[in-house]
Structure 1
Amino acid sequence: MDFNQLILTEDEDIRVKRAHAVSIEIESYMGHGPLEVMEFGCKTGLISLNLKNKISEGLLVDSSAENIKELEQKLRDRHLSHLQTYTGDILESDIDRQFDVIYSSMVMHHIKDFKAVIKKLVSYLKNNGKLIIVDLLPDSGEFHRHHLEFDGHHGFTINEMVAALKEAGLKEVTGRKFYSSYKPIENKNHPYSLFSVIGMK
């Protein structure tokens, strides 16, 4: 999937509203801040900008250069020097830092080998650091119907993601459904729901 092509719709109102709900959910897990955090698959930064006051130092990671370009302009406009960016494939990264919290939203279902990515993210956690995953509950395929090149997962069960975090070595792993909404598809509103899962290193 070409994430450079998604940038034009990234800040649409429906996504802004969803990002607000996701930000509240992630913040509920983060604990006392400010914290050193990484956002994996940050897109144009909607979530981390919502959480900026909980962050002492943040690294916002995305594989799309266009997303990062848009995000960097937002950071300049807001004079937010405590948030930095990283462009590239996380599996090929060699980031010389560790984090209190790493989170991602609506990213893992795009990744075929999501378990390898989770293990890589866990390697960047401090001891007792937290990994928080927000993603799509099982979907018929309608959610990505217009993305003909989509070759990811049509959502996950909470148990699937809990098992993946445990397999990566995390403890105290729990999950819950927290959000339901509709996505307009060909003049119809397609229902979907999101879950969150958290584990500790």
Structure 2
Amino acid sequence: MGNTDKFEMIANIYDTPERVQIAKVSSDAIRNYLVDAKSKQAIDFGCGTGLVGLNLIDEFKSILFLDTSANMINQIKQKVSDLQIQNADTLCFDFEADDLSNLRADYIFMAQVLLHIKDIEFVLARLFDVLNEGGHLLIVDFDKNEKVASDFVHNGFNQDELADRMTQIGYRGISSETFHTGSKIFMGQDASMFVLDARK
């Protein structure tokens, strides 16, 4: 998946105060969209060191922390062990290549992950397959930002365009909103973040 090599190198220094803060506002935004989630299974897709998912661990019956970076997964494994969390599993998994047949979830959330993925439609379609009927995909990412220029990440997303692309895949009941604006939070630029909720 996108930029795995980079994340392998920074895993043990990833949890900066800025990232912890962004994870908190992101998990709060996701929490607002959860309905009767206590009996539901979730996947934290592209979980990194688990900053977002750990904030939501008590909201679900269980969370699977999934990432392509083995070093990131090792970080979250250590946290789960240190905190003695019982309802978490981890999986190092290349979502674009590995077999999905055993993966199922009622909720999948991904925070600042989509901007790293080259083939967005392909991954969103695979996530659709993993969701149980009636399940939700929750995306937290940056609004389109013309000041950001990078060969490695998308410069954010237009919410309406993203919703249209997801509708073509089969998602329904899509709603989204901008929920946070911050200084220098996206590649050194001031930026805003949105949360999008879509159902299968």
| TM-score normalised per structure 1 | 0.90
Task: Measure the CA separation in 1 of the matches of 2:149 and 2:112.
Answer: 12
1:89 aligns with 2:94: yes
Q: Secondary structure at the match of 2:96?
A: helix
- Larger mean Cα displacement after TM superposition, 151-160 or 115-124: 151-160
- Larger mean Cα displacement after TM superposition, 92-101 or 160-169: 92-101
Identity %: 27
Q: Select the residue among 135, 143, 148 that pairs with 1:137.
A: 143
**2:45 paired residue number:** 40
**1:16 paired residue number:** 20
Q: Secondary structure at the match of 2:99?
A: coil
Q: Secondary structure at the match of 1:154?
A: coil
**2:154 paired residue number:** 153
Q: Select the residue among 76, 87, 96 that pairs with 1:71.
A: 76
1:103 aligns with 2:109: yes
Q: Secondary structure at the match of 1:70?
A: helix
| AA matched with 2:24 | H
Equivalent pairs, count: 194
Task: Measure the CA separation in 2 of the matches of 1:185 and 1:61.
Answer: 23
Note the alpha carbon deviations across 1:56-89, whole angstroms, 9 max, x for none: 1211111111100011000000111311111121
Q: Is the 8 A contact 2:46 2:67 kept in 1?
A: yes
Deviation at 1:9, TM superposition (A): 4.0
| AA matched with 1:155 | G
Q: Is the 8 A contact 1:143 1:190 kept in 2?
A: no
| AA matched with 2:36 | H
Q: Is the 8 A contact 1:161 1:197 kept in 2?
A: no
Distance 1:112 1:185, change over 3 A: closer
**2:174 paired residue number:** 173
Deviation at 1:141, TM superposition (A): 5.0
| TM-score normalised per structure 2 | 0.90
Deviation at 1:143, TM superposition (A): 7.6
Q: Secondary structure at the match of 1:132?
A: strand
**1:192 paired residue number:** 191
| AA matched with 1:24 | D
| AA matched with 2:26 | V
Q: Is the 8 A contact 2:146 2:155 kept in 1?
A: yes
Tell me how large the CA RMSD over aligned residues is.
1.9
Q: Secondary structure at the match of 1:181?
A: strand
Deviation at 1:30, TM superposition (A): 1.4
Deviation at 1:185, TM superposition (A): 9.1
Q: Is the 8 A contact 2:148 2:189 kept in 1?
A: yes
Task: Measure the CA separation in 1 of the matches of 2:171 and 2:185.
Answer: 36
Q: Unaligned regions of 5+ residues in structure 2, if any?
A: none
Task: Measure the CA separation in 2 of the matches of 1:60 and 1:164.
Answer: 26
